[in-house]
Amino acid sequence: MKNLITKSWFVLHFFCSISAFAQNPIIQTKFTADPAPLVYKDTVFLYTTRDEDNAGPGMGKFLMKDWLLYTSVDMVNWTDHGVVATLKDFKWGRQDNGAWAPQCVEQDGKFYLYCPVQGSGIGVLVADSPYGPFKDPLGKRLIETDHIWNDIDPTVIKDDNGQAYLYWGNPNLWYVKLNKDMVSYSGEVMKVPGVGKEKDQKTPDVFHYQEGPWGYKRNGLYYMAYASTCCPEGMAYAMSKSPEGPWEYKGYIMKPNKKSSGNHPGIIDYKGKTYVFGFNYRLNFMATETHHERRSICVAEMSYNPDGTIQELPWWSEEGLQEPGNINPYAINQAETIAWAQGLKTAKDSMGGGIYVTRVNSGDYIKVKGVNFAKNPKSFQANVASSLGGTIEIHLDSPEGSLLASCVVKNTGGALNWKTVSSKVNKVNGNHDLYFVFKGGQGDLFNFNWWKFGK
């Protein structure tokens, strides 16, 4: 497996060179799935599952131990915040695998992260910040049913009167009324009629429901989007005038595609537009022709008809969103704020620091979209750590575009011994995409923490 992964990332280095202008998938430094976006104070918080690099070949061989967090203020540059929760946070659940699709919701200044531990049930973690740290207030699973292996993929609808409803399930859709504390519920566990089917039933499911529900309320109407029609899975949706139904099937948001065996919708309104998240297997198949459960999150703009129904979308485009970006070059920018990355990974500093970009090899690059140079900068600074060294070339608008700066990175005394290096810059003004292109010898050149330009 080690040789396979090494070879896969070598192939990925090569094929990503054709993707300089791609925006989908939106995360390239890890394999991510099951997007759960939350809009809070003008920021999109994107909670995800993580497919491990060494997930075995074959369908259904998921290897998932962590939940991750990414943020964005422009929908095209995403900042990696690393692991926000793990299976270890649920001491009552299995610890080896099964960190499946979550959702985080805010209520009265607290953040509730509902997480399925496959085979152990659905738990909930609570934090005072969307960044965490999250803690288990119950010490046991939240949902107690006799179909525990089907207790997956929780989603929450909050009604205008403050009542919250928790939905979940495969192959059926279940729900309960959450109490005000958001960590307990009242009443019976209810099955949504007509959605899904019992395994011993042969009648077709007219909703084409499979799993991965995503519920929300918009303009007085209730929506339930979900992964539909297995396999492959697309995304369909139903609508209702009440969070308790009855639900009416409305059609596809995105039809199934043989390029992706699964899917999972996550839908938000943000800065006047609606966005739908899901995933495909593009990065896996750029690395190898063999199917591994190594998925990658994508996003597209979604539109509604006047009656509230959703306009069907084509399959995920590689170009993705073309929003302008919103980066201030004169502030410290984390290297892990990325629109597109070739051949790179991210890691957490074991010495107590934050997330940084690693596995930097010659020819790799980072794209940052929409950097606004209001005035010509005087210098460039980068915080790096290295035992080998190399060069950061900064190009405008493409990896081969005009050279803005060339910053030399020397041996700093170790891979986590951080130092700030600087260089002169050429004249520039206006809004540009920046490409940090890394050059040097063989092997991992350096680690990259942050960058900024001096006025």
Burial 77-90 (b: 16+ CB within 10 A, else e): bbbbbbebbebebb
pLDDT tens profile 85-136: 999 999 999 999 999 999 999 999 999 999 999 999 999 999 999 999 999 9
Q: Which two tokens stand for residue 419?
A: 């130092």
Least confident of 10-24, 187-201, 364-378: 10-24
Burial of 188 (0-12, 13-18, 19+ CB in 10 A): exposed
Distance CA 401, CA 109 (A): 45
User: Of 99, 110, 35, 98, which is closest to residue 70 (Cα–Cα)?
Assistant: 35
User: Of 253, 312, 257, which is closest to residue 282 (Cα–Cα)?
Assistant: 257
pLDDT tens profile 395-443: 999 999 999 999 999 999 999 999 999 999 999 999 999 999 999 999 9
CB 94 within 8 A of CB 117: yes
Q: Distance of alpha carbon 448 from its chain centroid, rounded?
A: 21
CB 430 within 8 A of CB 369: no
User: Of 334, 384, 329, 380, which is closest to residue 354 (Cα–Cα)?
Assistant: 334
**Residue 54 neighbours by CB distance under 10 Å:** 12
Average pLDDT along the chain: 93
Residue 146: per-residue pLDDT: 83
Q: Which two tokens stand for residue 176?
A: 């309960």
333-454 has the same fold as 23-302: no
Residue 201 has pLDDT above 60, yes or no: no
Question: Using 50, 70 and 90 to split pLDDT, how confident is the model at 15?
Answer: very low
Return the domain boundaries, the chain. 23-302, 333-454
Q: How far is CA 26 from CA 70, 159, 315, in A?
A: 10, 31, 15
What CATH number has the domain spanning 23-302? Answer: 2.115.10.20
Would you say how long the chain is, in residues? Answer: 455
Residue 9 has pLDDT above 50, yes or no: no
Helices (H) and strands (E) in the chain, counts: 2, 30
User: Of 373, 372, 450, 443, which is closest to residue 407 (Cα–Cα)?
Assistant: 450
Distance CA 437, CA 399 (A): 7
Q: How far is CA 187 from CA 137, 179, 346, 419, in A?
A: 21, 10, 44, 58
The architecture (CATH level 2) of 333-454 comes to Sandwich (2.60)
